[in-house]
Amino acid sequence: MNKTEIINLRDEAFQHLTTELLPFWTNRMKDEVNGGFITHFDKDGNDTGEDEKSLIAQTRCLYTVASAHRAGYGNGELAELAKHGADFLLNKMWDEKFGGFYWMVDRKGNVKIDEKIIYGHSFAIYSLSEYTLATGDKRGIEYAGKVFDMLQKYCVDSRYGGYWEMFHRDWTLKGPGSAGGDRKTLDVHMHLMEAFTTLYECSGKEVHRRKLLEDIDLLLNVINHPKYKTGIPQFFKDWTVAPQIKFDIIWGWDRFSEEGQKGNATDNTCYGHNAEFAWLLIHALEILKISPESYAETFKIIFDHTVDNGIDTEFGGVYVEGPHSGGVYDREKEFWQQAEVLIGMLDGVILFNEKKYWEAYKNVHRFVFDKVINKGIGEWYPLLSRKGEPIWTHMGHSWKINYHTVRSMVQSIRRLDIILAKQ
């Protein structure tokens, strides 16, 4: 590895984060009239006027500004922005009668969808814990703890393990099929891992540690493929593999809006998810004070599978998904998968010091900076063709927000600094 090359890549990421990416959001996202964050922007960064504030977008924005502040960016302004977001979340989106957060409100905070969706609550725990760690405001950990307790009370499957995910307002489980009441997913259990990690980091409570370890065990031994260690997207209640279907409450299914079930519905794995799972697990182990090297074999299998199957060596970037045994189904390029593989490949470099992970990192880095970033605007295109031509051009909506992009740059810079220190 060439030290000058590392420095140049690190500087490119730092300049993008500090002069383009963070300013894109800090200059636009604060709703001065109603509180909370504006999250819907077109290709030029203009507010589209969409009258909604989703739990997932509000919490992800809160996490973004709080974590960037904790990482040393923003000269204190991000802490004020985080408080602005936390105020709206707690004052407008919390259900005073049944507890938990509504899934969707309008810009003023009037309820549009009152259901309790665990995907969104995982990010409530994640962002509110991060908010307290970043600012010291105790409301964050108070409400993160409340949500955690509700998950244990209403959502745990005490027979088969794991968590149910789709509930009505009063925490009664929704019906089967597209309502999602009979399904368990990789997505939710992986995000609960990152949420419980930050919750435990903030609270230090033994029960938070215990539930984090329980979730990790489930992810490693049930949700990941036994041979390939790749993530399996959906399951029935007893953890038999279920066909991957679209739920009524969706996230990330925009591309399949007309379909009820994916092609290859029981044999597909997502390269971005696999890399994200690996680096989030490494971070969780560090917070738990467990050496990641004790899981080195698993990390090696995941990272190798990502490099061998997910990296496009011809045009650059990361493919969407393919079969567990190897290969590619979907050759388009999604923004968030590029973001997560950047972090994962740098963890591969740190853990194993192997050239192929560094080459994979450089491949994706170059694709992001040459193709994915909307030049002159500062955010990333959400979806591109294999060659890097934008297919979707909006800069923000409820499912495409700053969480992946800003976190990717913050975490990549931190890892590049670690690699530089070892040179």
Query: In tens digits, what is the pLDDT along the chain, a chain of 423 residues?
Result: 899 999 999 999 999 999 999 999 999 999 999 999 999 999 999 999 999 999 999 999 999 999 999 999 999 999 999 999 999 999 999 999 999 999 999 999 999 999 999 999 999 999 999 999 999 999 999 999 999 999 999 999 999 999 999 999 999 999 999 999 999 999 999 999 999 999 999 999 999 999 999 999 999 999 999 999 999 999 999 999 998 888 888 765 555 545 555 566 578 899 999 999 999 999 999 999 999 999 999 999 999 999 999 999 999 999 999 999 999 999 999 999 999 999 999 999 999 999 999 999 999 999 999 999 999 999 999 999 999 999 999 999 998 999 999 999 999 999 999 999 998
Helix (H, G, I), strand (E, B), or coil: what is residue 257?
Answer: coil
Helices assigned H by DSSP within 249-401: 271-287, 296-305, 335-352, 355-367
Helices assigned H by DSSP within 19-177: 22-26, 55-70, 77-92, 118-135, 138-150
Residue 284 one-letter amino acid: A
* pLDDT score of 256: 53
Cβ burial, residue 253 (10 Å; 0-12/13-18/19+) = middle
Q: 87 is written with which tokens?
A: 């105020």
Q: Mark residue 151 as left, alpha or beta (left: phi above 0; alpha: psi -120 to 50; beta: remaining).
A: alpha
d(CA 52, CA 114) in angstroms, rounded, equals 13
Token pair 């590049």: residue: 416
* pLDDT score of 267: 82
- CATH for 54-252 is 1.50.10.10
Token pair 């975490």: residue: 411
* pLDDT score of 347: 98
Element (H, E) at 116: strand 116-117
d(CA 59, CA 68) in angstroms, rounded, equals 14
* pLDDT score of 257: 47
* pLDDT score of 184: 97
Q: Identify whether the C-beta of residue 102 lies closer than 8 Å to the C-beta of residue 56.
A: no
d(CA 400, CA 74) in angstroms, rounded, equals 22
So where are the chain's domains?
Answer: 1-27+267-422, 54-252
Token pair 């936390």: residue: 86
d(CA 262, CA 244) in angstroms, rounded, equals 6
* pLDDT score of 254: 54
- Class at the top of the CATH hierarchy for domain 1-27+267-422: mainly alpha
Token pair 């989106």: residue: 93
Q: 402 is written with which tokens?
A: 């700053």
* pLDDT score of 125: 99
Phi, psi of 334 (to 5 degrees): -100, 140
* pLDDT score of 246: 86
